Amino acid sequence: MLRYHRRNARLTWTVGISALVALGLGGALVAEKAKERTRWQVVYREDFTRATTESLAATWAVTFLPWATSQLMPAPVGHGRFAVRDGALHILGDNGYTDLAYRGDLLGGVRVEWDYLARKENLNFNCFIGGANRWGTGYTFHVGSWSNPSFVCLTQGKEYEVLDCTYLAQPMQAGRRYRFVLEKEEQRLRLQIDGQVVLEDELPSDAYGETANTFGFDCTGLNEMVIDNVVVAHKPMAQRVSPLAVADRLTQVGQHEQARAQYRDIVRTFPDGDLAVLAAFRGAVCAGRLGDDAICASELEAWLATHGEHQAAPYALHELTEVTRRQGDAARVRALRERLASWRGHPVLAAVLRGIASEHLSEVAPGRAKRVGDRDYPADTVATVKATIAALQGWAERYGLEWWKNDYAERASFVLLNFAEYDYIIDRFVPYSNNHGEALMQMGRFAEVLAAFPPGSYVRGSALMATARYDELFTGSYPLWLEWQARADVGQVAELLDGERIPEMRRASLLLAGRFDDVLAEFPDDRHGRAEALLGLGRSAEVEGVSDDPTMLARALLAGGRLDELETSHPSAYAELYRCALARWIAGERPRARALVAAIDGGDVPCGIDETMFARRMLGGFLDLQADPAIDPATAFATVLARPRGEYKQRIWHLVRYVVGELDDTAFLAQPYRHLVDERLVFAQALRADCRGQAAAALALYLTYVDAPGTPSSSARFERDFLAWRIAVLSP
């Protein structure tokens, strides 16, 4: 129906009623209040020409969330995470999240302008508003986020609840200065970059547009953000106060009973005007906040019967839907959601669709495995997720929305990726999204990735590395860790250690070079780096006192020979469990080792993790050959040979067929994954010779592979264990 479109000219969805109704009692004051709004008034201006790091501490609060501990902490002046240099403010990510928040609270609308420049990476030009930092109830704009310099996402709170997202026409660039403008007025949020509106949203979960607001900036990971020419302005609250204001304030602080009494009084005092209509509606919602769902539903039904054409009607329908959902009447909930479809295009429908999606989040939340091999997801997960996506697409079509702008879509694409549902992801999910690109890469369709994804994005960078196109990858426009991995894999260890290339990755470079004592000396506060160094030095017993990272703890247990404890306490540490199985086999526990491999393979091992690729697809068959050399390799690897070609970037498909003799050198070298393909051919030759019992040839080839620069990869811990085992066994 076109009811909403016919009335659109006279409706103003940006009035405060929008925020009141959707999830709380937000809302505009009466129409005359808008007329009293003054122009933006500047309350703070800073160009940093005279500021010092110390003087800024009075105006700005810095918090830091290190990746190693995930514990939010204040960052004192002098720590180095923020400083004034060269007439601008610099913020360092420092292997975590550094938030710089304005200390003042501003009532009314807030407008912030600033120059933004990323020095090292074209990612995460982030900013937030509405909370003390991005980890509370505030709203964060992630610009150049999710490792994609073209992606912009609006989220709320620490859990990254997705509210909206879009793609920029041009990717963000490191070294370029941008002018950002962030506005929050009543329940409206708007972000502009260089004069262009990037995202503009209504926030129905925000109770009032007049609440105190702060704002801030964010620096992530290895980046360094430069901020300059900050201008803060606000629109003060109206001098004339609507009769609704007192009740609205009571609602804001949770005094719903008193607020309900005030709203009832307004209805009695102003029975014939719009004030009474709004007050009656808000009073009904108060009943729901007090736990009186039956009264709330009854009053909302009565209100809608009389005011079904009112501009607040879609919000009332949404409130009634939520109350009915709490009452457990699924059929009635669906009917109300269908009724909301008559307001196609209305802003509240985005919240409605998010609510529908949130009801299904449990489908894409893995359970906690208690034993090795337990499935993280039910056996019917893929069918369930696909059915939910179809339903969401149906609702989105009726509401005039895009179905994928919610948490469910993001998590569902990851789950489907783990289940190797690549064709489905490519068909149903948004092009240019990371998991869409990852699905293309898993199938070996790198040309499509390179044609579609912007320079600087993680997905494009991965495709460049996969196709051995290093020139673009080494231009400094890609994530530093990705460039580092590529340089490490092609043997540029000395260049990485000279301090001129990617100095931010020095710790990783020292670890790669085996200089573990230097890591301990140079990085005393880096818990992750210290744990890696201790493992490298064979001091696994000390790791538990340094790191609480599950992977590190699992590796320490393995290194210490505590295999039973590893299997019991880390049932989802797939990479270490495969290493555990190999260790048991080497120790003579062959039946237990083979059973462990079968158990892991029977679980939900993520298909997209290359670290487990060789172990998952090749270890079981190889162990079977070691137990009975008379088995034909094609029989031992029959299950792998039956797997689809399009997984693990076609690497396993080519490897197993080379090992069993179906492919020759030329066919192996012609595979789409080009990264270190010549070196990987040597490994394939070694494995084929080993499977055929040709010990001398296999040993020589294994040694050649180990001596090649960049092989095995620094992250391929299982492969290193496997090579050490085979070289030891085959050596005379």
- Whole-model pTM: value is 0.83
Per the domain annotation, does 176 fall within a domain?
yes
Please state which of the ranges 264-273, 631-640, 666-675 shows the lowest mean pLDDT.
264-273
Six-digit token string for 396: 């989105």
Percent of the chain at pLDDT > 70 equals 88
Check whether residue 169 and residue 308 sit in a common domain.
no
Return the closest-CA partner of residue 636 out of 676, 690, 679.
Answer: 690
Helix (H, G, I), strand (E, B) or coil at 196: strand
**Count of the separate structural domains present in the chain:** 3
pLDDT of residue 609: 67
d(CA 127, CA 131): 11
Q: Which domain holds residue 192?
A: 37-235
Q: Which helix (H) or strand (E) holds 161?
A: strand 161-167
- Average pLDDT across the chain, whole number: 87
* pLDDT per residue as tens digits for the range 534-581: 999 999 999 999 998 899 999 999 999 999 999 999 998 999 999 999
Going by C-alpha positions, the residue among 431, 353, 433 that lies closest to residue 397 is 353
Neighbours of 714 (CB within 10 A): 15
**3-state SS record for 76-107:** CCCCCCEEEECCEEEEECCCEEEEEEECCCEC
The torsion defined by the Cα of 445, 449, 450 and 454, in degrees rounded to 10, comes to 180
CB 263 within 8 A of CB 283: yes
Helix, strand, coil share of the chain (percent; to 5): 50, 15, 35
Q: Is the pLDDT of residue 592 over 70?
A: yes
Residue type (1 letter), 17: I
My answer on whether 557 and 608 are in the same domain is yes
Q: Position 619: which residue type?
A: L
Looking up residue 285, the CATH number of its domain turns out to be 1.25.40.10
Cβ proximity of 26 and 206 under 8 Å: yes
Helix axes 381-399, 330-340, angle to 10 degrees: 40
Same domain, 224 and 247: no
214 and 332 part of one domain:
no
| Confidence bin at 608 (pLDDT 50/70/90) | low
- The DSSP annotation for 297-351 comes to HHHHHHHHHHHTTSTTHHHHHHHHHHHHHHHT-HHHHHHHHHHHGGGTT-THHHH
Distance CA 263, CA 246 (A): 9
Write phi, then psi, for 623 (nearest 5 degrees). -65, -35
The alpha carbon of 5 is separated from its chain's Cα centroid by a whole number of angstroms, namely 36
Are residues 135 and 100 part of one domain?
yes
Do the domain assignments include residue 401? no
Give, as one character, the DSSP assignment of residue 504.
Answer: G
Is the domain of 211 the same as that of 225?
yes
Q: Is residue 84 one of the residues assigned to a domain?
A: yes
Q: Which of these three, 359, 382, 417, is where a domain ends?
A: 359
Tokens of 683: 């490994």
Q: What is the DSSP letter of 648?
A: G
Q: What is the token pair recorded at 229? A: 């020419």
What are the tens digits of pLDDT across the range 495-522?
Answer: 888 766 677 788 899 999 999 999 999 9
Asked if residue 586 is part of any domain, the answer here is yes
Token representation of residue 197: 């509106």
Tell me whether residue 440 is in a domain.
no
What confidence score (pLDDT) does residue 514 get?
92
Contact of 526 with 508, CB cutoff 8 Å = no
Q: Give a yes or no: residue 562 inside a domain.
A: yes
One domain, residues 612 and 649: yes
Among left, alpha and beta (phi > 0; psi -120 to 50; other), residue 487 is: alpha
pLDDT of residue 300: 97
DSSP state of 610: G
pLDDT tens, position by position, 10-30: 333 333 333 333 333 334 333
Q: pLDDT tens digits, residue range 29-86?
A: 334 334 434 578 999 999 988 888 778 878 888 888 776 555 666 666 556 678 888 8
In a domain, 245, yes or no: yes
Instruction: Average the pLDDT over 480-490 and give the result.
Output: 88
Which residue, of 235, 267, 292, is where some domain finishes?
235
Quick check: 134 pLDDT over 90? no
> Do 227 and 326 sit in the same domain of this protein?
no
Q: Where are the beta strands (DSSP E) in 423-534?
A: none
Beta bridge partners of 217: 100, 127
533 in any annotated domain: no
Residues 227 and 290 in one domain: no
Q: List Cβ neighbours of 116 (8 Å cut-off, separation of 6 or more).
A: 125, 127, 177, 178, 179, 180, 217, 225, 226, 227
Q: Which amino acid is it at 590?
A: R
Tell me, what CATH number does 188's domain have? 2.60.120.200
Do 338 and 257 belong together in one domain?
A: yes
Given 182, 205, 235, which residue is the final one in a domain?
Answer: 235
Give residue 661's identity as a one-letter amino acid code.
G
Q: Can you name the residues that pair with 179 across neighbouring β-strands?
A: 115
Name which residue leads in pLDDT, 213 or 265: 265
Q: Which residue has the tokens 């001398």?
A: 696
Share of the chain above pLDDT 90, in %: 61
Alpha-helical regions (H) of 490-547: 493-497, 506-512, 516-522, 527-536
The burial class, CB within 10 Å (0-12 / 13-18 / 19+), for 362 is: exposed
Backbone angles phi, psi at 169, to 5 degrees: -65, -35
pLDDT-based confidence at residue 208 (cuts at 50, 70, 90): very low
Picking from 480, 460, 477, the residue whose alpha carbon sits closest to that of residue 469 is: 460
Q: For residue 188, give the H/E element and its range.
A: strand 188-193
- Across the range 636-646, mean pLDDT stands at 95
**Cα 63 from Cα 603, distance rounded (Å):** 39
Say if residue 229 is in the same domain as residue 314. no
Contact 10, 218 (CB under 8 A): no
pLDDT computed for residue 63 by the predictor: 81
Element (H, E) at 202: strand 196-202
19 and 119: one domain? no
Start-to-end C-alpha separation, the chain: 82
Per the CB < 8 A criterion, the answer to whether 660 and 641 are in contact is: yes
Nearest one of 123, 144, 134, 137 to 198, comparing CA atoms: 144
